[in-house]
């Protein structure tokens, strides 16, 4: 039996459930389960051939999750005695170490450059962010020496871990997922743009809304999918210039996302130049490309190499709403060129930026770890 477990991510998490767990269930003979904490109960996902086990949410908020919730998860995974336990939250590193000391093979899946991410955590006092980041980086490095494998979401993250046990499994889209019948021919689409994902200040929430208020055509709308963090940001942004041109969908399922992306003319990914984002590979950028959309993206060197290399979008200063608005205007004023950008982006995803390539690396890691092949 193989177990993926998380106390932070939802059971619907795309990287964990839809990509990794489903791929392993389809490629390996062992049973695969996903352990979560959400009080939604156990379920059997027949379509993907996996069991979802709910260990229950402890009362008490974040601290309770990191202590009582982590211990509850440890007991549940230990009782199951899987051949491999694969966890997805840095706060579970101590639990991973305990499982390893109990004779279970352990994989740490590093979704984010956590030490750099901590430096931007709004709920940590600014004075303690750097000491906590240093502490976490040291903990990750020490634990990595004990764990059997590290799965890193980007090459930048991978460089922080021992090369001999680290596999880069990038969060590229599943090709078939964003090619659905509801896609409207590009020329027939409304002159809307989309952003889908977590909505935060550092991900350009304010700038996107201000930008949509400054585009030339009053009919252009920003299709905004996701939830605001923190919630007070929503109140602030709702009072911002341009909010009247926003269609706020809230949290969206995968089919809803596909429907939105199939009926707009560009995708926005204008993350701020924080310590973490310039070297990140946001899945939403590749999902826009997979959907055949031109991308309007932050002008970071890594992103420039991808966008310019594929000829699939426009690069802007993410802190400048006027520059973002001008890029949106360009897309709508040059629909044929924009459509060709989207086609080139889709071709790049089909060629190299897709989950099938990453799936093979993950399955190979497991085959070597479980069967020695």
CA distance 25 to 21: 6
Asked whether residue 218 falls in the same domain as residue 359, the answer is: no
* Domains identified in the chain, total number: 2
What is the pLDDT at residue 275? 76
Asked whether residue 145 falls in the same domain as residue 70, the answer is: yes
Asked whether residue 161 falls in the same domain as residue 226, the answer is: no
Strands 43-45, 50-54: pairing is antiparallel
Asked whether residue 122 falls in the same domain as residue 195, the answer is: no
What is the pLDDT at residue 62? 86
Asked whether residue 102 falls in the same domain as residue 179, the answer is: no
What is the pLDDT at residue 269? 98
What is the pLDDT at residue 346? 93
CA distance 49 to 51: 7
Look up the CATH number of the domain holding residue 344: 3.40.50.2000
Reduce the DSSP state of residue 151 to 3 states and report it: strand
| pTM for this predicted structure | 0.87
Q: Which of 51, 31, 50, 32 is nearest to 41 (CA)?
A: 51
Asked whether residue 312 falls in the same domain as residue 364, the answer is: no
Reduce the DSSP state of residue 50 to 3 states and report it: strand
Asked whether residue 179 falls in the same domain as residue 143, the answer is: no
Q: Which residues contact 69 (CB under 8 A, 6 or more apart)?
A: 7, 37, 55, 57, 58
Asked whether residue 189 falls in the same domain as residue 307, the answer is: yes
Tell me which H or E stretch contains 269. Answer: strand 266-269
Q: Which of 281, 255, 284 is nearest to 194 (CA)?
A: 284
Asked whether residue 34 falls in the same domain as residue 161, the answer is: yes
- Eight-class DSSP state of 175: G
User: What residue numbers bound the domain in which 315 lies?
Assistant: 175-351
| Phi then psi dihedrals of residue 252, to 5 deg | -130, 140
CA distances, 242 to each of 180, 205, 217, 267 (Å): 31, 12, 12, 17
Asked whether residue 143 falls in the same domain as residue 238, the answer is: no
Asked whether residue 94 falls in the same domain as residue 116, the answer is: yes
What is the pLDDT at residue 213? 96
pLDDT tens, per residue, the chain with 373 residues: 999 999 999 999 999 999 999 999 999 989 999 999 999 999 999 989 999 999 999 988 889 999 999 999 999 999 999 999 999 999 999 999 999 999 999 999 999 887 777 776 666 777 888 888 888 888 999 999 999 999 999 999 999 999 999 999 999 988 877 655 556 788 889 999 999 999 999 999 999 999 999 999 999 999 999 999 988 999 999 999 899 999 999 999 888 988 899 999 999 999 999 878 898 899 999 999 999 999 999 999 999 999 999 999 999 999 999 999 999 999 999 999 999 999 999 999 999 999 999 999 999 999 998 876 5
- Eight-class DSSP state of 85: E
What sign does the dihedral 22-24-27-29 (CA atoms) show? negative
What is the Cα 14 distance to its own chain's centre? 8
Asked whether residue 167 falls in the same domain as residue 291, the answer is: no
DSSP for 290-308, written as a single string: HTT--EEEE--HHHHHHHH
């Amino acid at each position: 039996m193989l177990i993926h477990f998380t106390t932070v991510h939802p059971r619907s998490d795309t990287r964990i459930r839809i990509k990794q767990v489903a791929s392993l269930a389809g490629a390996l003979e062992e049973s695969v389960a996903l352990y979560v904490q959400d009080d939604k109960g156990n379920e059997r996902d027949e379509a993907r051939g996996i069991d979802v086990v709910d260990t229950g949410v402890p009362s008490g908020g974040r601290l309770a999750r990191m202590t009582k919730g982590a211990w509850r998860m440890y007991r549940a995974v230990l009782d199951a005695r899987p051949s491999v336990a694969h966890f997805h939250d840095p706060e579970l590193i101590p639990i991973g170490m305990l499982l390893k000391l109990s004779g279970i093979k352990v994989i740490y899946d590093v979704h984010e450059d956590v030490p750099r991410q901590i430096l931007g955590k709004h709920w940590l006092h600014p004075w303690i962010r750097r000491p906590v980041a240093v502490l976490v980086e040291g903990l990750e490095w020490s634990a990595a020496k004990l764990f059997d494998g590290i799965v890193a979401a980007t090459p930048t993250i991978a460089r922080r871990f021992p090369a001999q046990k680290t596999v880069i499994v990038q969060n590229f889209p599943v090709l078939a997922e964003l090619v659905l019948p509801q896609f409207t021919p590009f020329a027939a689409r409304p002159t809307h743009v989309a952003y889908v994902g977590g909505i935060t200040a550092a991900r350009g929430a304010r700038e996107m809304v201000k930008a949509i208020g400054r585009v030339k055509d009053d009919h252009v709308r920003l299709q905004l999918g996701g939830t605001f963090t923190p919630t007070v940001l929503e109140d602030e942004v709702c009072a911002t210039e341009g909010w009247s041109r926003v269609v706020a969908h809230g949290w969206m399922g995968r089919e809803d996302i596909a429907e939105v992306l199939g009926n707009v003319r560009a995708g926005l990914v204008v993350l701020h130049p924080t310590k973490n984002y310039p070297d990140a590979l946001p899945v939403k950028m590749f999902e826009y490309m997979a959907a055949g959309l031109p991308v309007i993206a932050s002008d970071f060197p890594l992103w420039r190499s991808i966008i310019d290399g594929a000829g699939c979008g426009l690069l802007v200063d993410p802190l400048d709403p006027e520059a973002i608005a001008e890029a949106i205007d360009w897309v709508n004023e040059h629909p044929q060129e924009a459509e060709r950008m989207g086609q080139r982006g889709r071709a790049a995803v089909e060629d190299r930026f897709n989950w099938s390539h990453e799936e093979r690396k993950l399955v190979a890691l497991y085959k070597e770890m479980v069967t020695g092949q």
